[in-house]
Homo-oligomer: A and B are copies of this chain.
Amino acid sequence: MTSSNLTGAIFSTDAMQRVFSDRACIQRMLDFEAALARAEAAQGVIPETAVPAITACCDAGAIDLAALAAAAGPAGNLAIPLVKQLTAQVAGVDAEASKYVHWGATSQDAIDTGMVLQLRDALDHIDADLAQLADALAKLARQHQHTPLVGRTWMQHALPITFGLKAAGWLDAVLRHQDRLAELRARVLALQFGGAAGTLASLGTQGLQVAAALATDLGLMLPDTPWHTQRDRVAEVAAVLGLLTGSLGKMARDISLHMQTDVAEAGEPVAEGRGGSSTMPHKRNPVGCAVALAAAVRVPGLVSIMFSGMVQEHERALGGWQAEWDTLPEIVQLTAGALQQMRQVASGLTVDAARMRANLDTTHGQIMAEAVTLALGGKIGRMAAHKIVERACHLAAATNRHLREVLVQDTQIIAELSAGDIDRLLDPAGYTGESAAFVDRVLQTYHRRSPHSRQE
Once the chains bind, are B383 and A99 in contact (CB under 8 Å)?
Answer: yes
CA distance A370 to B197 in the complex (A): 12
Is A68's CB within 8 Å of the partner chain B? yes
Closest 9 CB pairs of A and B: A293-B319, A246-B310, A201-B433, A151-B197, A153-B316, A199-B433, A300-B307, A294-B322, A282-B366
Once the chains bind, are A232 and B246 in contact (CB under 8 Å)?
Answer: yes
Chain B residue numbers with a CB within 8 Å of A322 are: 10-11, 290-291, 293-294
A-B contact sample (12 more), CB < 8 A, given A9-B69, A242-B307: A2-B20, A6-B25, A156-B285, A157-B283, A158-B196, A176-B233, A202-B370, A261-B362, A294-B323, A296-B310, A298-B327, A303-B303
Chain A positions 280 through 292: 1 when the CB is less than 8 Å from some CB of chain B, otherwise 0: 1111111101111
Q: A187-B176, A293-B319, A438-B226 are in contact. Are A8 and B4 (CB under 8 A)?
A: no
Once the chains bind, are A7 and B235 in contact (CB under 8 Å)?
Answer: no
Once the chains bind, are B318 and A289 in contact (CB under 8 Å)?
Answer: yes
Q: How many residues of A contact B (CB 8 A)?
A: 182
Stretch of A123-131, A132-140, A166-174, A412-420 that contacts chain B: A166-174
Once the chains bind, are A4 and B3 in contact (CB under 8 Å)?
Answer: yes
Is A218's CB within 8 Å of the partner chain B? no
Once the chains bind, are B207 and A152 in contact (CB under 8 Å)?
Answer: no
Once the chains bind, are B8 and A161 in contact (CB under 8 Å)?
Answer: no
Closest to A263 in B: B262
Closest to A238 in B: B239
Once the chains bind, are A296 and B284 in contact (CB under 8 Å)?
Answer: no
CA distance A66 to B300 in the complex (A): 30
A47 to chain B: closest CB distance in Å?
Answer: 12
Once the chains bind, are B298 and A168 in contact (CB under 8 Å)?
Answer: no
Chain A positions 402 through 420: 1 when the CB is less than 8 Å from some CB of chain B, otherwise 0: 0000000000000000000
Chain B residue numbers with a CB within 8 Å of A242 are: 235, 239, 307
Q: A199-B433, A239-B242, A246-B310 are in contact. Are A225 and B315 (CB under 8 A)?
A: no
Closest to A231 in B: B246
Q: How many copies does the complex hold?
A: 4
Once the chains bind, are A9 and B305 in contact (CB under 8 Å)?
Answer: no
Once the chains bind, are B232 and A177 in contact (CB under 8 Å)?
Answer: yes
A406 to chain B: closest CB distance in Å?
Answer: 12
Once the chains bind, are B224 and A329 in contact (CB under 8 Å)?
Answer: no
A64 to chain B: closest CB distance in Å?
Answer: 12
Once the chains bind, are A76 and B313 in contact (CB under 8 Å)?
Answer: no
Chain B residue numbers with a CB within 8 Å of A308 are: 246, 296-297, 300-301, 308
Once the chains bind, are A300 and B290 in contact (CB under 8 Å)?
Answer: no
Once the chains bind, are B5 and A434 in contact (CB under 8 Å)?
Answer: no
A387 to chain B: closest CB distance in Å?
Answer: 11
Residue of A26, A156, A431 most packed against chain B (CB within 10 A): A156
Is A159's CB within 8 Å of the partner chain B? yes
Once the chains bind, are B9 and A70 in contact (CB under 8 Å)?
Answer: yes
Once the chains bind, are A152 and B315 in contact (CB under 8 Å)?
Answer: yes
Is A62's CB within 8 Å of the partner chain B? no
CA distance A176 to B6 in the complex (A): 33
CA distance A69 to B14 in the complex (A): 11
Chain B residue numbers with a CB within 8 Å of A170 are: 230
Q: A262-B262, A304-B304 are in contact. Are A196 and B273 (CB under 8 A)?
A: no
Which one, B65, B172, B271, B298, contacts A223 given CB within 8 A? B172
Chain B residue numbers with a CB within 8 Å of A43 are: none
Once the chains bind, are B1 and A279 in contact (CB under 8 Å)?
Answer: no
Once the chains bind, are A172 and B227 in contact (CB under 8 Å)?
Answer: yes
